[in-house]
């Protein structure tokens, strides 16, 4: 297939694009910027010529949610997802021959803070900034759905790789200063990078899948267990807790929504479709990500 990828320079996109090429697909990277072959997710401007003749589109581009959330940062986080997705979906809907499928990223933040509840794709939306953004993000693809394009929303959890959230944790853990955040009982959902890429390829190929699909490992763990496992993989103690008040002091509202919220997400639709994880348990995924086999 000819596959257009946005966000090809991000954590997931840099692994997906080579995987698509290795599978024999032609990859077109729609880059953020100005000029031919580019787009601007915040304004919705894009080079629609890049979409002509595409069989599929994988839309991953979005503003990072890491860092403190000022009012301006919140606006960029939301608009990069909602405005960008709506512009892309509208451009696809206007093509004489649209692509067969749009895989448009979403996130498990859609579910909000849900305690012990096991969250499948049947669960309703949660509350909070990230839940509201994710709900609007998915709705923004409506023009493509109306055009008859199969639209899939992979609700991605934390991706374990050398970059991203895991990289932010490593310095403290390597110094022996890592540990659970807040109470440590909150559930964290995660997925290995290889399985995340494999799931995206699976969603492209399986016509029976549309709408939301949880892209997360089947083994969600409590925050304290995540910390113990990461410490074991690194050969370092993981007994220094980060109190909730300290996390809020450093990160502001982001701490409540990313570190202290509980999301026990299950990949029900992915498993039911026949997808099999290569690293379904946390320790093997961490060892692979960190090269500590």
- CATH number for the domain that contains residue 24: 3.40.50.720
| Contact between residue 179 and residue 239 where contact means Cβ atoms under 8 Å apart | yes
Full domain range(s) for residue 128: 2-290
pLDDT at 253: 84
pTM for the full model?
Answer: 0.95
Ramachandran region, residue 29 (left: φ > 0; alpha: ψ -120 to 50; beta: rest): beta
The CB density around residue 17, as the number of other CB atoms within 10 Å, is: 22
Total domain count, the chain: 1
Buried b vs exposed e over 80-99: b needs ≥16 C-beta within 10 Å? bbbbbbbbbbbbbbeeeebb
pLDDT score recorded for residue 235: 94
CB count, 10 Å around CB of 75? 13
Could you list the pLDDT tens digit for every one of the 293 residues in the chain? 999 999 999 999 999 999 999 999 999 999 888 888 888 888 888 999 999 999 999 999 999 998 888 999 999 999 999 999 999 999 999 999 999 999 999 999 999 999 999 999 999 999 999 999 999 999 999 999 999 999 999 999 999 998 888 998 999 999 998 999 999 999 999 999 999 999 999 999 999 999 999 999 999 999 999 999 999 999 999 989 999 999 898 888 889 998 999 999 999 999 999 999 999 999 999 999 999 88
- 157 and 134 in contact (C-beta within 8 Å)? no
């Amino acid at each position: 297939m000819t596959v257009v990828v946005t966000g090809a320079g991000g954590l997931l996109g840099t692994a997906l694009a080579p995987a698509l090429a290795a599978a024999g697909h032609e990859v077109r990277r729609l880059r953020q910027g100005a000029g031919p072959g580019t787009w601007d997710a915040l304004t919705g401007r894009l080079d629609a010529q890049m979409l002509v003749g595409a069989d599929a589109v994988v839309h991953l581009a979005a503003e990072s949610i890491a860092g403190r959330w000022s009012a301006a940062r919140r606006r960029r986080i939301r608009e990069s997802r909602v405005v960008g997705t709506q512009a892309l979906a509208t451009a696809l809907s206007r093509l004489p021959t649209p692509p067969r499928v749009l895989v448009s990223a979403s996130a498990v933040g859609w579910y909000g803070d849900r305690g012990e509840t096991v969250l499948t794709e049947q669960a309703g939306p949660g509350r909070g900034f990230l839940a509201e953004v994710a709900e609007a993000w998915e709705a923004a693809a409506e023009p493509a759905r109306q055009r008859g394009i199969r639209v899939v929303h992979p609700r991605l959890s934390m991706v374990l790789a050398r970059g991203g959230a895991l990289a932010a944790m490593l310095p403290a853990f390597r110094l022996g200063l890592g540990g659970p955040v807040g109470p440590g009982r909150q559930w964290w959902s995660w997925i290995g990078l290889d399985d995340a890429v494999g799931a995206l390829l699976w969603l492209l190929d399986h016509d029976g899948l549309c709408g939301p699909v949880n892209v997360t490992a089947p083994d969600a763990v409590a925050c304290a267990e995540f910390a113990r496992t990461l410490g074991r993989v690194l050969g370092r103690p993981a007994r220094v807790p980060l109190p909730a008040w300290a996390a809020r002091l450093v990160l502001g509202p982001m701490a409540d929504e990313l570190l202290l919220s509980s999301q026990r997400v299950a990949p029900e639709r992915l498993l039911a479709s026949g997808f099999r994880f290569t690293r379904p348990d946390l320790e093997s995924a961490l060892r692979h990500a960190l090269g500590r086999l």
